[in-house]
Chains A and B, each alone.
Chain A
Amino acid sequence: MLHLAIQTVEKPDNFCLMDDDKVIFQKFIDGTDFSSDSLFSQISKALGENKIEANEIEFVTCVVGPGSFTGIKSGLSFAKGFAYGLKIPIVSISSLEALAFSVRNDFNGDLMAMIDARNKRVYAQGFRIIDSKLQEKSDIFVDEIEKILKSHKKVSLIGSGAIVNSEFIKSLGDYEIIQESIIDSANAGILGFGKFKRKEYFDAHSIKPIFISEPKITLN
């Protein structure tokens, strides 16, 4: 089963063409342009080079946040348009779940996935990994790092929120920071394939972003 997974929530944007849980093609996109500019041309090119027609794609996995507001909007809008045009479903994956899933084979124990939300705040979610199985231990939330770590003493940390703030985190205690911060569309795609098989998907109308933070009220 052919499917497409896209991730634009944090740089570098990247996408995957997949067959079930196998990666056929993956591309990381550099640059600071609107994500959809590059996504459109790169996905179009990748389909052509891999001799895949767009209408052979059976579903799209989209990393829907939390993370960069612009990135979330850009990737989800693209996924909604693509899925609407092809009348196919969209699987929603959180950026934190994709991050934690990336170390499932190399880690055992409690893990806090963190994405930088600026000013020593992070979007975060607790996970437990045992024998390569990922379990959610909390809902997604946004808070100050200091507050989070006060109530989580024995936890390893992963993601841009931990890496960007590593010096500050060291001042708060002896926490293991896993040096992995890229949100990988291949991991999102594998998770997405599992959810698709369990029929945990949305149509283009009902898929929703995960923003967590309220928008800053600045009048135009």
Chain B
Amino acid sequence: MKKDILILGIETSCDDTAISVVQNGELVLSNIISSQAKFHEKYGGFVPEVAARKHIETITFVLDEALSEAKVNLEEIDTIAVTKLPGLQPSLVVGIGFAKGLALGLGIPLLEINHLEAHIYANHLYRKIEDKPDLKYPYVGLLVSGGHSELWLANSPTSHKLIGSTRDDSSGEAFDKVARMLGLGFPGGPIIDKMSQDGDEMAINFPRPMIDSPDFDFSFSGLKTAVRNEIIKYNEGKSETHPNARSDQKLSDLKDSEIHKEIDNNWKLDIVASFQEAVIDVLVSKTIRATQDLGLSTIVLGGGVSANSRLREMMGRKAHENGFELYYPNIEFCFDNGAMIAGLGYWYL
């Protein structure tokens, strides 16, 4: 009988310290994610050097937990896989350095894995054999997160081709920045997703940037500016003196984090729902068209924004209309995690 391969996956590309143990590339035995969101909340975004220092502090404790949840000893691990790129350099340095030291100490191989390909691969992960997805290559992968908005063609675990990407902000970044403008907190994605359920997505007709461009690229910077302009217009109509503006200062001179005062809650719900709808319209439209153009019939989602309930709903609806199959990862594998790194690592052995 073939021996089971246990891979330890280490992921520190951004602000989560994440370590997992995965068996044979798919069965997740543990998935520990230490989130730093509360440390970065006060800044309205994450601070790379703060994130990196937190990784150093927590990484061994996260490893303890990952081994404990998986019920395996360190000596049973066959290989270590670590996120190599892309990511924030200060944070990557910690995971890579730790993984290299650990691999050398244990005398086992080390694999360096592409974070983006791993997010797409996350669709193959499962906790119980009965949940194993019947997902087959090739497929189109939409990767949407705080750092990325990309379309990929995946032919096999080790063959991914980038077919489109954002030319400026990622979709997740746009969610965070709009949340900052409205004083909603950080990270913006889950907050806007929840609020939008009570708002009118048709209330404001925001632009759908690049929705008709022949390529598969995205652009969300202009949409973010459109939201800012709408907030300024709302405040100008409502009150002559904004509480954060000096008498000689125009509202348009205020920073994103200063423009949100005195906004009616119902209007807030409408503006976030309308903004979210514009983002999702573009993501869904381009993904469906890419799948049609490539003559494929399967779509997968990956990355933190793939947890967005409206994206899942709208992509599901359009995929069904086109006769495509749609897969998205279990919520625990949407955000940055070590399981996707360990899982993909298996195919590079």
- A interface residues, Cβ below 8 angstroms from B: 34-37, 39-40, 43-44, 53-55, 69-70, 73-86, 204-205, 208-209, 211, 215-220
Smallest CB gap from A88: residue in B = B105
A54 touching B104, Cβ below 8 Å: yes
Which of B47, B55, B63, B97 has a CB less than 8 Å from the CB of A36?
Answer: B97
Chain A residues within an 8 Å CB radius of B102? 81-82, 84-85
Chain B residues within an 8 Å CB radius of A36? 93, 96-97, 100-101
A79 touching B101, Cβ below 8 Å: yes
Report Cα–Cα, A151/B103, bound state, in Å: 48
B47 touching A54, Cβ below 8 Å: no
Report Cα–Cα, A29/B170, bound state, in Å: 38
A77 touching B105, Cβ below 8 Å: no
A82 touching B105, Cβ below 8 Å: yes
A74 touching B93, Cβ below 8 Å: yes
Smallest CB gap from A77: residue in B = B97
Which of B46, B61, B90, B100 has a CB less than 8 Å from the CB of A40?
Answer: B100
Given A34-B93, A73-B52, A76-B56: A219 in contact with B44 (beta carbons within 8 A): yes
B263 at the A interface (CB under 8 A)? no
Report Cα–Cα, A75/B101, bound state, in Å: 9
Report Cα–Cα, A83/B100, bound state, in Å: 11
Q: Contact mask B77-91 → A, CB, 8 Å, 1/0?
A: 000000000001110
> How many whole Å from B133's CB to the nearest CB in chain A?
32
A217 touching B43, Cβ below 8 Å: yes
Q: Contact mask B33-59 → A, CB, 8 Å, 1/0?
A: 000000000011111111011011101
Smallest CB gap from B50: residue in A = A215
B49 touching A77, Cβ below 8 Å: no
B59 touching A77, Cβ below 8 Å: yes
Chain A residues within an 8 Å CB radius of B163? none
B324 at the A interface (CB under 8 A)? no
Task: Please list the 3 inter-chain residue pairs (A to B) with the smallest Cβ-Cβ separation, ordered nearest first.
Answer: A85-B105, A81-B101, A77-B97
A205 touching B90, Cβ below 8 Å: no
**25 A-B pairs in the complex with CB atoms less than 8 angstroms apart:** A34-B93, A36-B93, A37-B96, A40-B104, A43-B104, A53-B107, A54-B105, A54-B106, A69-B52, A70-B90, A73-B52, A73-B93, A77-B93, A77-B98, A80-B98, A81-B97, A81-B105, A82-B104, A84-B101, A86-B105, A205-B61, A211-B53, A218-B48, A219-B46, A219-B47
Report Cα–Cα, A209/B53, bound state, in Å: 9
> How many whole Å from B78's CB to the nearest CB in chain A?
14
Q: Contact mask B112-143 → A, CB, 8 Å, 1/0?
A: 00000000000000000000000000000000
Smallest CB gap from A72: residue in B = B56
B252 at the A interface (CB under 8 A)? no
Given A54-B105, A82-B104, A85-B74: A34 in contact with B47 (beta carbons within 8 A): no
Given A36-B96, A75-B97, A220-B88: A80 in contact with B50 (beta carbons within 8 A): no
A69 touching B101, Cβ below 8 Å: no
Smallest CB gap from B173: residue in A = A220
Given A85-B74, A204-B60: A70 in contact with B97 (beta carbons within 8 A): no
B28 at the A interface (CB under 8 A)? no
